Amino acid sequence: MKEKKHFGTDGIRGRVGKGDINPEFVLKLGWAAGRVLGKGNAGKVLIGKDTRISGYLFESALEAGLVAAGMDIRLLGPMPTPGIAYLTRTLHAAAGIVIIASHNPYYDNGIKFFSSSGTKLPDDVENAIEAECGKKLATVDSADLGKAERVEDAAGRYIEFCKSTVPHNLDLSGLKIVVDCANGATYHIAPPVLEELGAQVTVIGAEPDGFNINKNIGSTHPEALQQAVLQHQADVGIALDGDGDRLIMVDHTGATVDGDGILYIIARSRLAQPNGLNGPVVGTTMSNLGLELALKELGVELKRTDVGDRYILAALDSNKWTLGGEPSGHIICRDRTSTGDGIVAALQVLASMVMDESNLRDLSMGMQRLPQILVNVDLGKAEPKAVMENDRVKKSVKAAEKTLNKDGRVLLRPSGTEPLIRVMVEGKNAPLVTQLANEIADTVRKVTATD
């Protein structure tokens, strides 16, 4: 497969003003996308964004490029990433574009595309857009220029969709919920969804100013939510990230429930429903062994993919399975929507709490998270592949696996974004797991020092 120049595994992302994340390139990207997506399409392209300050800049640049290519635009304003995927499908758009940098700080931004079906663009379409980026920009005739309109009811449409993913008679009136919107794109979506279902809602992280997105708040910083749940004596807390596709939950004692715990609760609930769970649950190589064992007790297999929600989605789609996710909180309910959706996943858990007349803590206790130690080792100038295939490293890994026997596992993988080897060991004995992880990491350090 041809290596892409601009597109990464999840669109294009980086520091604002650096690399491809500059107005000149984004304008050209919009034009190139319009040229490719407009072939054989009389449709429109949706543009949404999260709440970071640079969203205004790149929204205008994309709009100009697409219009110059002759494409009509529908502007959604601040909207969660999964909301844009949903609206791309239901408004029958040729594509959807979201200007986001997910859980990153405000000074980063990025461009992510959805196909007309609300899924990631196929590789051949991304390659075609990259090829057009290399050409000289030429504006279509004035009579063929695109037009831009704002979709005034975008938020309301998505709110109604979120509510439709749970039984119509679901009543949350007995629940006190704290929701943390990370000062991001869900600030005007998540609170009304919960309130309209009857919950008593306390909201934090819903005052975006362009700079505070994900800052010490949201799913990557659940401490603020933990404090708020205890302060307000709430039944449950919901932490989303800046673009709304990640979810971490907090029980009434202030303890966090990560993506693995959320997956377990949803899978268990689905098993009690007719045709509720089709096939295995899909996790990644980083999914905790405790999830695998807990699902096995339910008679459900855990299938692992490489790290990244795109790989999970690919496994779900190719096998027509229905549920998958990552420890970080990307949860994909494929029978409900086309991508990871923090609000939709949270609603599935809340529905389970109501139907089981139980609390989040009790529901999550069925999965006992095993101790998992992750050690990052700086590669220096060493090549990741050479380190991974080194005989001393392989011997160290095999020795650890023999010690753990069937009560744990070892994983070595190079980071996709930094010059690091990640050493992960998990098992039932915490001190042993820590010891083995450090022993393997020391071996990797010695090998990198000599390479």
Domain residue limits, the chain: 12-152, 157-364, 372-450
Q: What pLDDT, on a 0 to 100 scale, did the predictor assign at position 396?
A: 95
Only one residue has tokens 């100009």, namely 64
Q: For position 451, what pLDDT does the model report?
A: 63
- Model pLDDT, residue 363: 97
CATH architecture of 12-152: 3-Layer(aba) Sandwich (3.40)
Phi and psi at residue 155, to the nearest 5°:
-60, -45
Side by side, the strands of the sheet bearing 200-204 are 200-204, 176-180, 236-240, 247-251, 256-257
Distances (CA, A) of 142 to 30, 67, 274, 330: 18, 10, 56, 43
If you ran DSSP here, which 8-state letter would residue 77 be given? Answer: E
CA-to-CA distance for 405 and 233, rounded, in angstroms? 43
Give the per-residue pLDDT at 82: 97
CA dist 229 and 249 (Å) reads 10
Decide: 283 and 140 in contact? Cβ < 8 Å. no
Class of domain 372-450: alpha beta
Q: Given this chain, do its domains 12-152 and 372-450 carry the same CATH topology?
A: no
Nearest 5°: the CA angle 98, 221, 159 is: 45
State which fold the 157-364 domain adopts. Alpha-D-Glucose-1,6-Bisphosphate; Chain A, domain 3 (3.40.120)
Do β-strands 302-305 and 281-284 pair in parallel, antiparallel, or remain unpaired?
parallel
State residue 96's pLDDT score. Answer: 96
- Longest Cα separation, the chain: 73
Give pTM, 2 decimals: 0.91
Distances (CA, A) of 116 to 99, 120, 256, 387: 17, 9, 36, 42
Q: What is the pLDDT of residue 307?
A: 86
Per-residue pLDDT of the chain (451 residues; tens, 9 = 90+): 567 888 877 789 999 999 999 999 999 999 999 999 986 555 799 999 999 999 999 999 999 999 999 999 999 999 999 999 999 999 999 999 999 999 899 999 999 999 999 988 888 999 999 999 999 999 999 999 999 999 999 999 999 999 999 999 999 998 999 999 999 999 999 999 999 999 999 999 999 999 999 999 999 999 999 999 999 999 999 999 999 999 999 999 999 999 999 999 999 999 998 888 999 999 999 999 999 999 999 999 999 998 888 899 999 999 999 999 999 999 999 999 999 999 999 999 999 999 999 999 999 999 999 999 999 999 888 888 899 999 999 999 999 999 998 889 999 988 766 788 999 999 999 999 999 999 999 999 998 887 6
Q: How far apart are the first and last CA of the chain?
A: 30
Cα gap 303→99, rounded to integer Å? 32
Active site residues: 102
Are residues 342 and 244 in contact, defined by beta-carbon separation less than 8 angstroms?
A: yes
Cα–Cα dist 330/60, whole Å: 29
pLDDT for residue 275: 81
Which DSSP string do the residues of 287-338 spell out, in sequence order?
A: S-HHHHHHHHHTT-PEEEE-SSHHHHHHHHHHHT--EEE-TTSBEEETTT-S
3-state secondary structure of 148: strand
* CA separation for the pair 62, 28 (Å, rounded): 8
d(CA 278, CA 311): 18
Residue 41 confidence (pLDDT): 56
pLDDT at 417: 64
Q: Identify residue 107 by its one-letter amino acid code.
A: Y
